[in-house]
Chains A and B, each alone.
Chain A
Amino acid sequence: MAAEAATTSIDEGLNEDGGRWKDLDKLILRPGTIVGDNFEPGPELKENLMKMVRVLVVGAGGLGCELLKDLALSGFLNLEVIDMDTIDVSNLNRQFLFRFGDVGKPKAEVAAKCVMERISGVNIVPHFCRIEDKDISFFDNFHIIVLGLDSIEARSYINAVACSYLEYDSDGNPSDGIKPMVDGGTEGFKGHARVIIPGLTPCFECNIWLFPPQVKFPLCTLAETPRTAAHCIEYAHLIKWGEALKRAELFGISGVTYSLTQGVVKNIVPAIASTNAIVSAACALEALKIMTDCSKTMSNYLMYNGTEGIHSKMTAFDRDKDCLVCGPGILIELDISVTLSKFIDLLGEHPKLLLSKPSITHRGNNLYMQAPPVLEEMTRSNLNLLLFDLIGKIPKDIIHATGTTSINGKRTSCLRKLRVIFKGTAEDVTDMDTMGAVYRFVDKDNPEFWGYPVPKF
């Protein structure tokens, strides 16, 4: 008897869907014993999952295709997907939503269409563009962001965007604007899946060091003493394109092939269907658990390696409390009448900062720069203006300041995130800050075994 033959039908599931979600129902309609703190099983949870929750999937490649399918079949029926790429023949060994006839078409559009055709009731809005091209308000309406990307830059960007919604109360605890993220990555038989809940678990920036820098060959080796095929190719790519083969011949080096050229130059990484499926499934399951609380959530970084046996290792990384992206920063309450010059003096007196000679920046505008002289000159005229005016009359915002401070009697330069609130405006908060504990990240054992370079384009 097959296992499913035993599943006699009657259950408490909603009947309007004809038992379609019979399996998922077990998790979101039934109470459990090992569940999240806020788990409230029932039809309302199901309805919210399927009708209210909006998910953004970043990337419609190897992971993205799997993610759209996995999320839709996990009950997330409102999805949007963003990807700037078009379909290439070499995608077809794993990006199963694409066919030969789709080559050249935008990935996001084809993927969305394919999943909508196969799964009735799901709505997927495709966006064929770079994430940076989207206005920031684009991200307002998503409850959760799932990343299927292959670049550190893009991850860092989305992370900063998601963390920017985070608001802290006067105790430095996250109070609002939590936008969770689930992030996956693969190379060959290896991969990772992680959960980022800004303000609660480490953000991408807290442990960006997990991503090893790309291997670079010395330029002079490439030019004068090449030894391997990769050396010849990178030389040609960097300095004189189209000479790799000739060069290798000249130096008596074998192995300059088209495949390797692509690998060295574009840093193409090997990719297979199974690893993408495994990592995406892990991400989708975590998304379901985060949103519904139907079980525990992973804590917080899963490293996977299927090269030799099956190794999966969960590591609970710590937050960097001073993280400039997800940290609370230091709360400073100000009068509207404070000039930039007065503000700079305040930072020197503030017991948590004691910043001398600080330079100040706000939303990409350098308000005052102490150095170099050329920048000091350009920004000097701001000193006598009101800070409130300089930042566009916003009652509450983040300002970054950098300067030197004394740590254990040593002058050290540091960069600080400041949460500035103007008194007498709509958003004021009465309490002064209680944050600022210096908390540095201790290097966790991160054996090479787990590490795999993240490709860059």
Chain B
Amino acid sequence: MIKLFKQKEKQREQAENAHGRAPVKKQSAGELRLHKGVSGVEQWRGLGNMSELNLPKTSTIAFPNGKDDLMNFEVTLQPDEGYYLGGSFVFTFQVPPIYPHEAPKVKCKTKVYHPNIDLEGNVCLNILREDWKPVLNINTIVYGLNLLFTQPNDEDPLNQDAAAVLRDNPKLFETNVRRAMAGGYVGQFFFPRCMVGSK
């Protein structure tokens, strides 16, 4: 390749001389195409994500960092049936630079009384961890999250207490969910209000 590099250099010099211009340092292609610290991969990965986005009616998306950061966003879910009808739950999405090779990091920002979401906002959803595959996308995750609210399950609990109540006393579970969403204590834990329209 040394020969090739030399040839290119010579061609450049000749071209410059032929144009009668003083040799000017050419701005590199790399400089033209890339920002400092951005490889460009993130840009089109984010773009690909958004173009494929086909969210359920129960959800909305927001971009807290503006239109050019598509790798960090928030999805708000408002379940239209089930225990959590009337609630509004915000999830933060962090899309890694090597997405879809690796799953986005998803956390529930809203404190929720839920068997599969713990009080720190960790979510037990298989496709976020062990079952993630590069063919999956943001849509699948949002649908998965939606399903967690319409069909919470007591079999893979992160919040053991909530799971036990759901299993043994669904009526009480419903009451607890209502209480938590309205803003109040369930057991020793306080849940801020998260009903639609609440601020």
- A and B: direct contact (Cβ < 8 Å)? yes
Question: Which of A296-315 touch B at CB < 8 Å?
Answer: none
- Residue A292 lies at the interface, judged by CB distance under 8 Å to chain B: yes
A144 to B1, CA, bound (A): 10
Contact B41 A220 (CB under 8 A): no
Whether the pair B39, A157 counts as a contact (CB closer than 8 A) is yes
B29: interface (CB < 8 Å)? yes
- Asked if A153 meets B31 with Cβ closer than 8 Å, knowing A413-B51, A413-B52, the reply is no
CA distance A136 to B156 in the complex (A): 47
Q: Does A67 contact B (CB under 8 A)?
A: no
- Interface check A273, CB cutoff 8 A: no
B-binding segment of A97-105, A210-218, A331-339: A210-218
A293 to B7, CA, bound (A): 15
Given A216-B129, A224-B157: A40 in contact with B39 (beta carbons within 8 A): no
Which candidate, A117-125, A344-352, A397-405, is the interface stretch facing chain B? Answer: A397-405
Report the stretch among A108-116, A248-256, A369-377 that lies at the interface. A369-377
Q: Count how many pairs of residues, one from A and one from B, have CB atoms less than 8 Å apart in the complex.
A: 187
Contact B47–A366 (Cβ < 8 Å): yes
Q: A7 to chain B: closest CB distance in Å?
A: 27
Q: Which of A10-18, A158-166, A261-269, A444-452 contacts B (4 or more CB under 8 A)?
A: A158-166
B199: Cβ under 8 A from any A Cβ: no
In the complex, chain B residues whose CB is within 8 Å of the CB of A143: 1-2, 5
Known contacts A371-B53, A372-B53; A239 and B30 CB within 8 A of each other: no
Interface status of A365 (Cβ within 8 A of chain B): yes
Secondary structure class of chain B's binding surface, majority of residues: loop
B126 proximity list for chain A (CB < 8 A): 218
Q: Are B157 and A136 in contact (CB under 8 A)?
A: no
Q: Is B165 an interface residue (CB 8 A)?
A: no
In the bound complex, residues from chain A placing their C-beta under 8 Å from that of B181 are none
Of B82-90, B95-103, B188-196, the one touching chain A: B95-103
Query: In the complex, what residues of A have CB within 8 A of residue B36's CB?
Result: 134-136
Chain B 2-25: CB-based contact to A (< 8 A → 1; otherwise 0): 111110100000000000000000
Given A217-B129, A239-B118, are A161 and B39 neighbors across the interface (CB < 8 Å)? yes
Which 7 interchain pairs have the tightest Cβ spacing?
A: A160-B39, A220-B156, A402-B51, A132-B37, A378-B67, A220-B124, A216-B129
Cα-based distance from A398 to B30 in the complex (angstroms): 11
Q: A363-B43, A364-B35, A366-B70 are in contact. Are A165 and B29 (CB under 8 A)?
A: yes
Can you sample 15 A-B contacts with CB below 8 Å?
A38-B1, A52-B2, A136-B30, A140-B28, A164-B29, A213-B102, A218-B126, A293-B1, A325-B40, A365-B68, A366-B68, A371-B53, A372-B61, A379-B67, A397-B32
Is B8 a contact partner of A176 (Cβ separation < 8 A)?
A: yes
Within 8 A of B (CB), among A211-252: 211, 213-214, 216-220, 223-224, 238-239
Question: Which residues 26-84 of B have a CB within 8 angstroms of A?
Answer: 28-44, 47-48, 50-53, 55, 60-63, 66-68, 70
For the complex, give the distance between the alpha carbons of A149 and B100 in Å.
21
B residues within 8 A CB of A282?
none
Inter-chain contact B29/A291, CB cutoff 8 Å:
no
Q: Is the CB of A364 within 8 A of B42?
A: yes
- Asked if B143 is an interface residue, CB under 8 A from chain A, the answer is no
Q: How far is the CB of A426 from chain B (nearest CB, A)?
A: 10
